[in-house]
Chain A
Amino acid sequence: MPNVDRREFLRLVGAGGVGAGAGFMLAESIKHPVEHLIPYPVPPEEFSPGIATWYNSVCGMCPAGCGISVRTREGRAKKIEGNPSHPVNQGRLCALGQAGLQALYNPDRITGPLLQAGSKGDGSFVPTTWNDGLTRVATELREARGGDAVVLLSQGVRGQLAALFELFMAELGSGALLHYDFAHPHALHAANEKLFGEQQLPYYDIANSRYLLSFGADYLNHWLSPVHYALGFGHSRQGGDGPRGKFVQIEPRMSMSGAAADEWIPAKPGTEGVLALGIAHGIVASGRYAGDDVGSWTTALAAYGPEHVAGETGVPAKTIARLVHDFAHGQPGLAIGGSNHSNGVETLVAINALNYLVGNIGKKGGVVFNPEPPLPHSKNRQANYVEMRALVERARQGGVDVLIVNNTNPVFTLPEVAGFREALGSIPLVVSLSCFMDETTSLADVILPSHTYLESWGDDAPQPGVGFPVAAVSQPVVAPLYNTRATGDIVIGLAEKLGLGDVFPCKSIEDCVRDNWRQRLADGASEGADVDVLWRDVLRSGAWGKNTRREHAVAFDPRAIGSVAVQRPGFAGSAGDYAFLLQPYLSSALYDGRGANLPWMQELPDPMTSVVYGTWLEMNPQTAAQLGLSDGDLVSVASEYGSIEAPLVVFPAIMPDVVAMPIGQGHEQLGRYSRNRGSNPIRILAPMLDASGALATAATRVKVTATGRRAPAVKTGGESRQLGRNIVQTVGGSGSDSHDSPGHSTKLNSIPITVEPA
């Protein structure tokens, strides 16, 4: 261990053991876990038995990029907690983030390089060596035609790994570098670009807003950065000195955020944008907006009077008038949206217009624009549905020689009609870098398994950011469990086999991260500062930030004002044959399906229904009664593009003509905890698009028919009504003027029990 003697080391380990926040790192300190209970003739220098060592890193379970502190004991990871010094999650972490340990220690991980021995998809893999695996892929890469015949399809990556991918593909002369995440908010990006000319998402300052109007954005579940927004929610509700924040959720099916909100308003699916324009109309008409362009707004919104909007959305005019009043006066207020309809981009433009009209752009408690991320990042690489379809078509016509897939699973997260599965059959060499045998990986020819994020080096600048520059370093917290490699090292290994090794500035992703960061720190350091110390500080705290805000005058694009109209949403399937609108939503525990192999997540009851281990279909109780269906009936859900089965769960807060299903289950692969469990609603979605080219996931009509069988979803928890037990108690108003004060309720009941001595 260079530069650190044993005494220094123990001091650091001690510090790490005491303070949860004081993360500590040394690459050299990560050694293999203890395998046997043998007293040490020579005690290991890397840790003190019985004392926990904490490492700060970055969570890799979803794209939010929370900072984590991982507690390790004797070389094994024991617990993941939020990193208190990371501005995104400030010490907090969601359930999925905690379950990262079960990704690391998953019994179904791929333990070393594999080769397809039979034909594609029959699952006959034989182990091989890294040298052999890399050589085979490199040979194919060398023989592949130039141009875009080599495709790299990755989960969204940021920082040095993104830079490595860019460099690698540039060297191969291919522009076909695609990032693919099912839940990537394409429409939101497009709307921001259209209105503000901003490529990055802004920061929504929920913590300081007093009134939040959310049009279907499930910000407490998986919308952009849920842990950060939950912190903001808590703060706005009861943390600030000002009045308690009020939350309104407008969506056809009550989400977690809808349950937490003060008011849930069901609007007809796809009319959220019309409602937003109706509110905008009210704000302009009431004279609340006094900008120079008020004339153009008045013209543009003329068609969105309360009666028209009430008719379109199904929300009473009285409610709209109240929303106008509350939003105009409950400042700072914030309007956010997450539309999955064919008019998604227009809808989000309309919602953003609300923020502009009440003047909360660039303000505390409003929409704050983010600075350029401080780390290298890929621009415009996220593939939408159109681009994924183009890839499929190209592959079918023999235009793709090699496809490298990095930890993304399009076979599972694209509808069946996209034809991704079949397209893989037309590609001569499919290489997967996945940690797990997912559906896409099972169709690969060569599997070069990567480390999990808890075993890899990396860095990350969270997106959307938090309004000021933030970056964090991700470091291995345990020695690699298996014969896997860091994704960056696999790419570098391939480059070396291709004779491109000299092009890369570094020999491993670890070097890339360290060199780049040291350079960055040296550039920003004051005279005489020791870069070693700065670098170690970054590793120890796990996060780096600058307390600057971007000064950015945002003008609403005047051309955009004229075009704020929101079209009626399109739906696939006729209303006659397909009576219901299917609303698939990201499962709280399983996200887009990647959490399905984590047993903790399978056993985590769904927040709304308490269902574990399965998929279900949510239906309005009255509709179910009309159809003669009851809770637990197995129903068939069919669109024009396929059908799946799921047990019915009667759900009190969903519109009568809407049915909802969680995404995440229905895996054919991904290991013992997920295989052949539940069904995947993405499969049957119609290829409906919004203006950004993204899949409109809530635009498919389905019919629901009884199968005559019963298969009740497994639920925990029992009775879902209070039945007068008064377990959850409420107070009116702001909560401060309660007449039955606590003091009372606690003390009244505290009648001392006396025990008479015998």
Chain B
Amino acid sequence: MSFIDRFISSWHKYRKPGYYEEFDYAWTMSIDLDRCTGCGACVTACQAENNIPLVGEKELDAGREMQWIRIERYWEGDYPNAKLSFIPMLCQHCDSAPCETVCPVSATYHNQDGLNTQVYNRCIGTRSCAVYCPYEVRFFNYYDHHWPAPLDQQLNPDVTVREKGVMEKCTFCIQRIRQAKDNAKDNGRRRVRDGEVQPACVQTCPSEALVFGDRKDPDSRVSKKINDPRAYHVLGELNTQPSIVYLKKVDADA
């Protein structure tokens, strides 16, 4: 088989939707909007874990915030019947991710665990992926950001520090997933146990609104959550098939 033939055959193999379904894990997060209090603990946990730069007031004012997970807030109604709902928004790790198809250099692709990953070294900064993303969860480094000493001592050595011109986004704390897999292997297990790996946001959530796990394991906590009658996908009509499942907020008056 010529190189071209091999290329075409593997192209078809890997461009087929759901090709990753035959692999071991399908990492999934459920977010219970009935529990979320909007406190923002997840946001800071993510910043600490993933070396997310401080962008400063000026860039924030220009809409260049850099928080892989954020709390969106939506008002409904007017005084005195105003209501506010919070929804944590992060990369949905779509199984049909619009961002992946657009990248000219394949810097963002779907990995074997169903994660939408970003290869910083490949990224050339076209920002097309951010335009294609309907969830607005990709963040571009318009500048190099520096931590004044000794704040840099906090940086997590397991995570890259990104530089100017690179797109970045939620990784589901892939460094923690890798570590958990390594540990499982070292202990002679084939699979990571449920609850063994938690991204920083899930780990810290004070009201336990966030649950993370493998939806291929029917007994995992997250598998039970995604079968809850309240489960839905944000912007589900776009058919991006996200790995984040939201559980509807309960409105006792509705």
A interface residues, Cβ below 8 angstroms from B: 18, 20, 33, 73-74, 76-82, 89, 91-95, 97-99, 101-102, 104-107, 220-221, 226-227, 230-231, 233-235, 237-239, 244, 246, 254, 256-257, 259-260, 262-264, 266, 481, 588-589, 599-601, 603-605, 607-608, 610, 612-614, 620-622, 652-656, 672, 714, 716-718, 720-722, 725, 727-738, 741-743, 745-746, 748-755, 757-758
CB contacts (< 8 Å) of A745 on chain B: these are 231-233, 236
Give me 14 other A-B pairs in contact (C-beta within 8 A), A98-B45, A105-B151, A716-B67 excluded: A73-B157, A93-B204, A99-B48, A221-B39, A238-B247, A259-B83, A603-B67, A608-B84, A716-B63, A720-B73, A721-B74, A727-B72, A734-B252, A742-B231
Query: At the interface with chain A, which of B30-38, B115-123, B160-168?
Result: B30-38
- In the complex, the chain A residue whose C-beta lies closest to that of B18 is A752
Are B250 and A734 within 8 A (Cβ)?
yes
Tell me, in angstroms, the Cα distance from A660 to B22 when the chains sit together: 55
Inter-subunit contact B86/A607 (CB<8 Å): yes
The reply to whether the CB of B10 lies closer than 8 angstroms to some CB of chain A is no
Instruction: Kindly list the 9 A-B residue pairs having the minimum CB-CB distance in the complex, ordered from nearest.
Output: A742-B231, A234-B207, A230-B206, A732-B254, A735-B250, A95-B44, A652-B82, A259-B84, A653-B82
Pick the contact of B38: A98, A260, A720, A751 (CB < 8 A). A260
Q: Of all chain A residues, which has the CB nearest B49? A: A79
Instruction: Select A729's contact among B36, B72, B200, B249, beta carbons within 8 Å.
Output: B249
A contact residues around B45 at 8 Å (CB): 81, 93, 95, 98
Chain A residues near B34 (CB-CB < 8 A): 237-238, 244, 735
**Shortest beta-carbon distance, A378 to chain B, in Å?**
29
- Inter-subunit contact B72/A259 (CB<8 Å): no
Q: Among A220, A235, A653, A751, which residue has the most Cβ atoms of chain B within 10 A? A: A653
Binary per-residue interface labels of chain B (60-72) against chain A in the complex, 1 for a CB within 8 Å, 0 otherwise: 1101010100111
Complex interface residues of chain B between 200 and 238 (CB less than 8 A to chain A): 200, 203-209, 226-238
A73 to B155, CA, bound (A): 10
Residues of B with C-beta under 8 A to A608: 38, 73, 84
Measured CA separation A603–B65 after assembly (Å): 9
Instruction: Kindly provide the distance from the CB of A497 to the nearest chain B CB, expressed in whole angstroms.
Output: 31
Q: Are the CB atoms of A260 and B37 closer together than 8 Å? A: yes
21 pairs across A/B with beta carbons < 8 Å?
A77-B153, A93-B45, A102-B154, A105-B152, A233-B207, A244-B250, A254-B84, A257-B37, A259-B37, A259-B83, A264-B83, A608-B73, A652-B82, A730-B85, A732-B252, A738-B229, A742-B226, A743-B229, A745-B236, A750-B241, A751-B239
Query: Quick check: A722 and B74 within 8 Å, CB to CB?
Result: yes
Picked from A73, A91, A107, A748, the residue with its CB within 8 Å of the CB of B149 is A107
Q: Which residues on the A side are within 8 Å of B86 (C-beta)?
A: 259-260, 607, 728
B5 contacts the other chain (CB 8 A): no
Contacting pair A736 B229 (CB below 8 A): yes
Cβ 8 A contact of B153, one of A99, A105, A752: A105
CA distance A742 to B223 in the complex (A): 13
The reply to whether B60 and A714 form a contact with Cβ atoms under 8 Å apart is yes
Complex partner residue of A230 from B39, B151, B239, B252, CB under 8 angstroms:
B39
* Nearest B residue (CB) for A262: B252
B238 (CB) vs chain A CBs: closest residue: A749
The tally of residues in B whose CB lies under 8 Å from a CB in A reads: 92
B-side residues, CB < 8 A to A, are 8, 12, 15-18, 32-41, 43-45, 47-49, 54-55, 57, 60-61, 63, 65, 67, 70-80, 82-87, 96, 148-157, 183, 200, 203-209, 226-239, 241, 245-254
User: What's the Cα separation between A256 and B61 when bound, in Å?
Assistant: 24
Cα(A80)–Cα(B204), bound, Å? 10
A716 lies within 8 A of B73 (CB)? no
Which of A263, A604, A728: most chain B Cβ within 10 A? A728
Inter-chain contacts of A93 with B (CB < 8 A) = 41, 45, 204, 206
Q: Taking the nearest CB of chain B, how far is it from the CB of A133, in angstroms? A: 23
Contact yes or no, B200 A607, CB < 8 A: no
A233, closest chain B residue (CB): B207
Residue of B nearest to A50 (CB): B157
Give the distance to chain B from A145, nearest Cβ to Cβ, in Å. 43
Question: Once bound together, how far apart are the Cα atoms of A612 and B67, in whole Å?
Answer: 13
Distance in angstroms from A138 CB to nearest chain B CB is: 32
The reply to whether A94 and B39 contact each other, CB–CB distance below 8 Å, is yes
Asked if B40 and A588 sit within 8 Å, CB to CB, the answer is: yes
Docked-complex contact B33 and A256, CB < 8 angstroms = no
**Cα separation A231 to B209 with both chains bound (whole Å):** 9
Interface centre among B8, B12, B47 (most CB of A within 10 A): B47
Report whether B254 and A731 are in contact in the complex, using a CB–CB cutoff of 8 Å. Answer: yes
A729 to chain B: which residues have CB within 8 Å?
33, 232, 246, 248-249
Contact residues in A for B79 (Cβ distance below 8 Å): 266, 620-622, 652-656
Q: Is the CB of A731 within 8 A of B230?
A: yes
Instruction: Decide: A732 near B251, CB < 8 A? Known: A79-B156, A254-B82, A742-B230.
Output: yes
Shortest CB-to-CB span from A250 to chain B, Å, is 12
Inter-chain CA distance A244–B249, complex, in Å, is 12
Q: How far is the CA of A758 from the CA of B15 in the complex (A)?
A: 12
Give CA–CA (A725, B56) in the complex, Å: 30
Contact with B203, one of A81, A656, A757 (Cβ below 8 angstroms): A81
Q: Which residue of A lies closest to B228 (CB)?
A: A742
Contact A102 B151 (CB under 8 A): yes
Picked from B60, B155, B208, the residue with its CB within 8 Å of the CB of A603 is B60
List B contacts of A748 (CB < 8 A): 236
Contact A79-B151, Cβ < 8 Å, known A621-B78, A728-B74: no
Are the CB atoms of A749 and B229 closer together than 8 Å? Answer: no
**Residues of A close to B12: CB separation below 8 A:** 755, 757
Flag if A256 contacts B37 (CB, 8 Å): yes
Contact between A727 and B235, CB atoms less than 8 A apart: yes
Partner of A735, one of B157, B203, B229: B229
Residue of A nearest to B207 (CB): A234
Q: Check B84 against A230 for contact (C-beta < 8 Å).
A: no
What B residues does A620 contact at CB under 8 A? Answer: 79
Which residue in chain B gives the minimum CB-CB distance to A589? B40
Q: Chain B residues with Cβ under 8 A from A89's Cβ?
A: 206
Q: Determine how close the nearest CB of chain B comes to the CB of A437; give it in whole angstroms.
A: 16
Q: Is the CB of B48 within 8 A of A605?
A: no
B40–A605 touching, CB < 8 Å: yes
- Chain B residues with CB below 8 A from A91, complex form: 203
Question: Judging by beta carbons under 8 Å apart, are B239 and A106 in contact?
Answer: no
Give the docked Cα–Cα distance between A33 and B152 (Å).
13
Which residues of chain B are within 8 angstroms of A73 by Cβ–Cβ distance? 157
Name the distance in Å between A552's Cβ and chain B's nearest Cβ: 29
Report the minimum CB–CB distance from A287 to chain B (whole Å): 26
Complex Cα distance, B85 from A195, in Å, reads 37
Asked, given contacts A82-B204, A714-B57, A728-B249, whether A749 binds B236 with beta carbons under 8 Å apart, the answer is yes
A106 to B84, CA, bound (A): 35
Residues of B contacting A76 with CB < 8 Å? 153-154
Q: Are A18 and B154 in contact (CB under 8 A)?
A: no
- Write the chain A residue with the least CB distance to B236: A749
| CB-based contact B254/A105 at 8 Å | no
A481 and B84 alpha carbons, distance in the complex (Å)? 43
**A600 in contact with B54 (CB, 8 Å):** yes
In the complex formed, the residue of A with least CB distance to B72 is: A717
Q: Which residues in B have their C-beta under 8 angstroms from that of A733?
A: 250, 252, 254
Given contacts A234-B208, A603-B54, A745-B232, contact A95 B43 (CB under 8 A): yes
Are the C-beta atoms of A730 and B154 separated by less than 8 Å?
Answer: no
Instruction: Report whether A107 and B151 are in contact in the complex, using a CB–CB cutoff of 8 Å.
Output: yes
Q: Nearest Cβ in chain A — how far from B37, in angstroms?
A: 5
> Would you call B149 and A731 a contact (CB within 8 A)?
no
Roughly how many angstroms separate A81 CA and B201 CA in the complex, as a whole number? Answer: 10
CA distance A266 to B80 in the complex (A): 7
Q: Which residues of chain B come closer than 8 Å to A266, judged between CB atoms?
A: 79-80
Shortest distance between the CB of A264 and any CB in chain B (Å): 7
> Do A246 and B254 touch across chains, with their CB atoms under 8 A apart?
no
Tell me the bound Cα distance from A732 to B200 in angstroms: 32
In the complex, residue of chain B having the shortest beta-carbon distance to the beta carbon of A232:
B207
Report B-chain residues with C-beta under 8 Å of the C-beta of A750: 239, 241
Q: How far is the CA of A239 from the CA of B150 in the complex (A)?
A: 41
A452 CB, nearest partner CB in chain B, Å = 12
